[in-house]
Amino acid sequence: MNRRELLKKGLLMTATGLLLPKEMFAQVNKSLLGPAADLLPDGTIKEQILEALPGKKPLIKKTFRAPNYETPYKYFNEIFTPNDVFFVRYHLANIPQGIDEKNWKLKISGDAVEKTLELTMEDLKTKFEQVEIVALKACSGNMRGLFNPHAPGVQWGYGAMGNAKWKGVRLKDILNKAGLKANALEVAYNGADSGVMPTTPDFVKSIPVWKATQEEVIVAYEMNGEPIPYLNGYPLVLVVPGWTATYWMKHLTDITVISTPLDNFWMKNAYRVSVDKFPIRERFLSQMNSEDMPITEISINSIITNIEKGQVFKLGQPIEVKGLTWDGGYGIKMVEVSVDGGKTWAEAQLDKDYGKFSWRQFSYVFKPNKKGKYTIMVKATNSIGQTQPIEPIWEPHGYGYNAIQKIDIKVI
Ligand SMILES: Nc1nc2c(c(=O)[nH]1)N[C@H]1C(S)=C(S)[C@@H](COP(=O)(O)O)O[C@H]1N2
Ligand SMILES: [Mo]
């Protein structure tokens, strides 16, 4: 049966082949998209539906095969993004099925290690120091759909990101067990998914050895205190805090330490940004040329999470502005809020710090003294002076959107 025939029967097929009655699919309520509802192209919004993948609550469907589903905006009111609403993004449609973690093997090899290792899940959980870190996983193209003119790719709103507590083993400790040779340049890695067509380049990525051996980079088997959800990379995910999610390999099976730059489509053609125009700092030198380089750290950003466009407040009542702020791991120094469309700014209060790779909540309270329209904006600054632009910095692939949000409210 094709998609149209299924539809006639009132059935739709989910990304993983599950058939569901049509009633379970709802038109995405604009408010689920948060402030993205005004910025996404109209056509994109009309096509979107809510759909529940196995193990997930309904998420906003972007594409079906490979599955790309974003987290509804309302969940960003929480510091930890619940596993069952954490976004799902795959490049390749062949997702491993029926994984039994008892048979899972992680292989470490390559021309730049002393010896090859094969680790079981049990080995990982018993033979290494167990560590935990809170870190934001954010797709390079998160908020791509907000760019105007539009950039090609999945038209994400705000929902291709989530914050979680990851538990696992330091990559550094695993590499040391295999024995890093002096000529080690990059750590490459692969996951168990693949393309449907043999011609589709397998999703294999690499990071420079200097990043791979940072304390924060871990091979994780737990997310928010539970096994990694199936569609988020069960049973193992490489967690690369500070860097965009393209490096966070799901269903991790192979780590290859190499003395020459990884040469494949996903490093040489995809996920690259202009050397001088894109505002990130960390350089992936072995993959860089005079024009472009791989995207590295997550751009500094902030969002308002508790106020909707057009929301009406009563004069005389205090208004609380709450939200989230994050950067690539330098540490947020200050969040400023404007209620007059950017004319004046005041400092918000930063809430609990869960570590420099986690996002952070902020709040700001003001009491309007007259009726009318108020334009609320929020802007973050980090410890190295990076801040957010008023107008988006357009990037041809739609990476790194971090323009200051503007939300109009009314006081009556
Ligand atoms: N094996 C595998 N890992 C992957 C990908 C993939 O397609 N396959 N996509 C990457 C990208 S681009 C993103 S944004 C994140 C998405 O992670 P999530 O589905 O857990 O949210 O996984 C990364 N790791
Ligand atoms: Mo991504």
Distances from the Cα of 5 to the Cα of 13, 25, 26, 28, 49, angstroms: 11, 17, 19, 23, 19
Q: Which ligand is the nearest neighbour of the Cα of 59?
A: 1
- In this predicted structure, which of 43-52, 315-324, 402-411 has the lowest mean pLDDT? 43-52
Q: Which ligand is the nearest neighbour of the Cα of 83?
A: 1
Residue 15 predicted with pLDDT over 50: no
**What is the model's pLDDT at position 23?**
45
β-strands 59-63, 68-70 pairing: antiparallel
Domains 101-294 and 301-411 share a fold: no
Side-chain-side CA neighbours of 78 within 13 Å: the count stands at 16
Kindly give the number of the ligand 1 atom that is closest to the alpha carbon of 138: 14
Contact 214, 108 (CB under 8 A): no
Q: Is the CB of 326 under 6 A from ligand 1?
A: no
pLDDT per residue as tens digits for the range 367-391: 999 999 999 999 999 999 999 999 9
Specify the DSSP element, H or E, that contains 178.
helix 171-178
Q: Is the CB of 91 under 6 A from ligand 1?
A: yes
Residue 370 Cα, ligand 1 centroid: separation in angstroms? Answer: 48
Q: What is the mean pLDDT of residues 223-239?
A: 98
Residue 326 predicted with pLDDT over 60: yes
Q: Which CATH architecture has domain 101-294?
A: Alpha-Beta Complex (3.90)
Residue 369 Cα, ligand 1 centroid: separation in angstroms? Answer: 47
Three-state SS at 290: coil
Residue 179 Cα, ligand 1 centroid: separation in angstroms? Answer: 28
For residue 245 the two structure tokens come to 């999610």
pLDDT per residue as tens digits for the range 343-354: 999 999 999 999
Spell out the domain ranges in the chain.
3-89, 101-294, 301-411
Q: What is the mean pLDDT of residues 102-131?
A: 98
pLDDT per residue as tens digits for the range 56-94: 999 999 998 899 999 999 999 999 999 999 999 999 999
Q: Is the CB of 92 under 6 A from ligand 1?
A: yes
Q: What is the mean pLDDT of residues 170-177?
A: 98
Instruction: Output the pTM of the full model.
Output: 0.93
Residue 245 Cα, ligand 1 centroid: separation in angstroms? Answer: 6
Q: Is the CB of 205 under 6 A from ligand 1?
A: no
Q: Is the CB of 234 under 6 A from ligand 1?
A: no
Specify the DSSP element, H or E, that contains 136.
strand 130-138
Percentage of residues of the chain with pLDDT beyond 90: 86
Query: Which residue is listed with tokens 């795959």?
Result: 90
Between 296 and 48, the more confident residue is: 296
Q: Is the CB of 233 under 6 A from ligand 1?
A: yes
Q: Whose CA is nearest to atom 11 of ligand 1?
A: 246
Q: Is the CB of 72 under 6 A from ligand 1?
A: no
CA 253 from centroid of its chain's CA atoms: 21
Q: What is the mean pLDDT of residues 152-180?
A: 97
Residue 27 predicted with pLDDT over 80: no
Q: Is the CB of 249 under 6 A from ligand 1?
A: yes
Q: Is the CB of 238 under 6 A from ligand 1?
A: no
CATH of the domain spanning 301-411: 2.60.40.650
